[in-house]
A and B are shown apart, each in its own frame.
Chain A
């Protein structure tokens, strides 16, 4: 595994907001096909790290390479086109759009018809839109969301909204999928279903997944490797077994031992 070039390589990355170091000196390597967890207490900088990886923030230090290419100062939409897609901690669907249109938006960058041909309703507008419609419907079926296709996204039950967000992220055709607390607010049954879904899509789309999660049992159960972030710094990294017994991790989560 270590012999390949990594899909994602994070080198000494950090960001400061004024005097506050939100994330500092993070090094990370993700190899193709891995399912890696990112854990840490509240405010550790996990989501900030996601925002750095997806171009929402520009790192003040360090470099990020995706498939060997430096992502410095690339805007988020270009990074998505290169193959990094994400979901959000607090669901960010296009609420007023229908379920199928949410997925179609993610297909937008594949559209072959120009604005002009849409305005003039040229033949390639119709074929392009039809192709999108078919692809999106196929996708919804895969996620068992096709029964909701014309409902507004905001009217879906919570668990289905999470599902739709993952479906939408996958429709953007990523190689690396970043999931920000996908199980937040779910009950144990829904969480179990979610884990099945993640395993399924990973297999089906040949994905690499980086997962932020609070639920330790979940992370320990599915992830092959885990990075632990605390106060913006990586404090540990290893297999679930190593992480479970790592003194620094125990300290970060449970507090320092009283001497």
Chain B
């Protein structure tokens, strides 16, 4: 019974995703909207990838990492080198960007995941800055003035990567391995005492999360014609962190919704440059005042439709509430 319901929900989500994809694709290719909005949709998709990947690290595994822009930068530059300098297609660039970011995730993860809470936050913040400064000083990739990248990112690429990110992280979360990660978040000492190799699962979460951040970075690089180290400062990390916290720590659909809403708000407010940051900040403050646990808390959107079975941190079935 339950399984049948879940399968039904799964196929419904797939159908929904397909419909969504087609509508947006038609809208874009028929040139109904201008470049500005196309760009907004692509940016939204990339932010969703980044938010969901960070959600796995912070929301599920409870490792407070604020160096996500570092992985974004590694993915962006690696893919740009592959496509622009080595003449490889975008797909190779995406995979290379993801793998390079995952490597960076492992390198930073293994030593620093012994740290807890705010200490880990500081260490990952430092990592992000090190990455930025490193790229700043490498002439091969343009140093401070950045690197020219051709515009290759299109809606099908963004959508495909977004779907892949959501599916992989959802499947991981809804398994015994995801539960192991949640148990680390809930109580590391108890998880250890239950036979969970806590370090291993922290590194795995970091690895998967940074891989998709790298993929997001690769898409990012091929969307804006130029990448510069200054785009990947710690403020970028905080932007992604805000999606995760505002959506509700532990809720993937929350992270997705927050990424959509905040990107929309931020884009709409560009018409009022003088008050933009003030309004944006006020929205954040009021959301946190009225929904201190985030928009969705630890729930998922799908739990609004299903019965009370859905009570854990992870979603029971996928949702594709993406670009609207």
Q: Measuring CB to CB, which residues of chain A are less than 8 angstroms from any residue of chain B?
A: 54, 56, 75-77, 80-81, 85-86, 88, 92-98, 101, 104-109, 111, 113, 115, 118-121, 125, 128-129, 132, 150-152, 168-169, 172
Q: State the Cβ distance, A29 to closest chain B Cβ, in Å.
A: 23
CA distance A113 to B176 in the complex (A): 9
Q: B residues near A, CB below 8 A?
A: 168, 171-172, 175-180, 182-183, 186-187, 189-198, 204, 250, 298, 308-309, 311-313
Contacts A105-B194, A119-B168 given; does A129 touch B175 at CB 8 Å: yes
Chain A positions within 8 Å of B168 at CB level:
119
Asked if B179 contacts A93 (CB within 8 A), the reply is no
A152 touches B311 (CB 8 A): yes
The 3 A-B pairs with the shortest beta carbon distances in the complex, nearest first, are A118-B175, A94-B186, A92-B190
Which residues of A sit under 8 angstroms from B250, Cβ to Cβ? 96
B317: shortest Cβ distance to chain A, in Å?
A: 12
Cβ contact within 8 Å between A80 and B313? no
B residues less than 8 Å from A113 (CB atoms) = 175-176
Instruction: Decide if B193 touches A54 in the complex (CB within 8 Å).
Output: yes
Partner of B194, one of A120, A121, A132, A168: A168
- B168, chain A: closest CB distance, angstroms: 5
A111 to B176, CA, bound (A): 7
Q: How far is the CB of A83 from chain B (nearest CB, A)?
A: 10
A101 close to B192 (CB less than 8 A) = no
For the complex, give the distance between the alpha carbons of A75 and B195 in Å: 10
| Pair B171/A121 contact, Cβ less than 8 Å | yes
Chain A residue numbers with a CB within 8 Å of B183 are: 94, 97, 105
| Given A97-B186, A150-B309, 6 new contacts (CB under 8 A) | A76-B189, A77-B193, A77-B195, A94-B191, A108-B196, A115-B204
Contact A76 B192 (CB under 8 A): yes
* Cross-chain contact B312 with A132 (CB below 8 angstroms): no
CB distance from B173 to the nearest CB of A (A): 9
Q: Determine whether the beta carbon of A119 is less than 8 Å from that of B179.
A: no
Residue numbers in B under 8 Å from A115 (CB-CB):
172, 175, 177, 204
Partner of B191, one of A101, A105, A107, A119: A105
B180 touches A105 (CB 8 A): yes
Is A118 a contact of B189 with CB atoms below 8 Å?
Answer: no
